[in-house]
Structure 1
């Protein structure tokens, strides 16, 4: 079953919040993402994904990248194979959760007076993984953001990969540790993407 995509929802600021000196989180125009959002797994949210997107311009660092257990280098799948499960391990998984920063009095009062002003999902803390699969001839990669250490591909995603038989598909995993949606450590990326193929068994 395809993992649901959760969209960010913004509520307008009320006059009382303006008097308190707070600003609407949604004042800035949303980033133009031609390819849309990824699939989400575990505790991942669109807020966490945007933290990853904002960090894309940072220098590549593979010192604490994941160890991709599956798929293995040069992995080949048969066209009629069931959707696979990809697994990895990560040094970030052993990090202890940091203490959350106390909310400001203004934020507390704002939520008390107008709870709908915080309609988006609560901030997340922990290790997260952004898996991207580049498919030749396809404008957008197939993507998943998850807090899990595996990806059980759903049927729809598997069909997209099987639509490029005999071609190199590149799997990249970016990892980071977030504290309340803020980047605390990383991002780390595989030094080079893992190349796989889907072959016609006929």
Structure 2
């Protein structure tokens, strides 16, 4: 076998491997309640990673600290949609060692010699947004009487509730709402740290409207 034939054989074998990987890719995780709202630079690919992480054991060691609303707080029925906010150990550690994290990410994302072939067989247009790297938060607000929680995926440390969600909360008629925040650190959409969840969800309510 000539050197040229060996090179062509290696390229063909790599092509077959990439094709079999693309065609035999496992079905992506989904949620019966559909996609969440998005905030910051969160993406649907990052959301799928977070959906998959929900099957992992709960770890509250580095969970967020909810700042607002306060535990047991009652918000007036006439008040505007509130802002939910929290702090996170993940954000604090990320700010301390961002340079080293970025350097590692750059090394891992360097393109290999067959990158051109991978782009030919599995076009990058399929990933319509850049892979997400950073701390991310899945906010789930359970509303009594609603089959699905209000879900938000965000890269921010807060979420300004929209009018539609606030109206959905009104349907609870003054009953307790349950707020859970799941946090994680993703490296190019892959779970690297977490998930971390509140050991006890935060409860608050919107007062029932007067008749």
TM-score (norm 2): 0.80
- Alpha-carbon distance in structure 1 between the residues aligned to 2:30 and 2:61: 31
What is the CA distance between 1:30 and its match in structure 2? 3.9
2:45 to 44, 47, 56: 47
In 2 relative to 1, CA 120–40 (structure 1 residues): closer, same or farther, beyond 3 Å?
same
The equivalent of 2:83 in structure 1 is 85
| Pair 1:29-2:37 in alignment | no
What is the CA distance between 1:201 and its match in structure 2? 5.1
What is the CA distance between 1:118 and its match in structure 2? 3.2
| Pair 1:133-2:141 in alignment | yes
1:178 to 171, 186, 198: 186
Unaligned runs of 5+ in 2: 1-11
- Alpha-carbon distance in structure 2 between the residues aligned to 1:107 and 1:117: 14
Unaligned runs of 5+ in 1: 1-15
Instruction: Give the secondary-structure state (helix, strand or coil) at the position aligned to 2:22.
Output: coil
What is the CA distance between 1:103 and its match in structure 2? 3.6
The equivalent of 1:118 in structure 2 is 126
**Per-residue deviation, residues 114-164 of structure 1 (Å, max 9, x unmatched):** 745534322111000000011112111100000001100111111111111
In 2 relative to 1, CA 128–26 (structure 1 residues): closer, same or farther, beyond 3 Å?
farther
Q: How many residues align?
A: 187
Instruction: Give the secondary-structure state (helix, strand or coil) at the position aligned to 1:131.
Output: strand
| Pair 1:188-2:196 in alignment | yes
**Per-residue deviation, residues 54-108 of structure 1 (Å, max 9, x unmatched):** 1112221111111100011001111111001111110101213422212433344
Q: Which has the larger Rg?
A: 2
Instruction: Give the secondary-structure state (helix, strand or coil) at the position aligned to 1:24.
Output: helix
TM-score (norm 1): 0.83
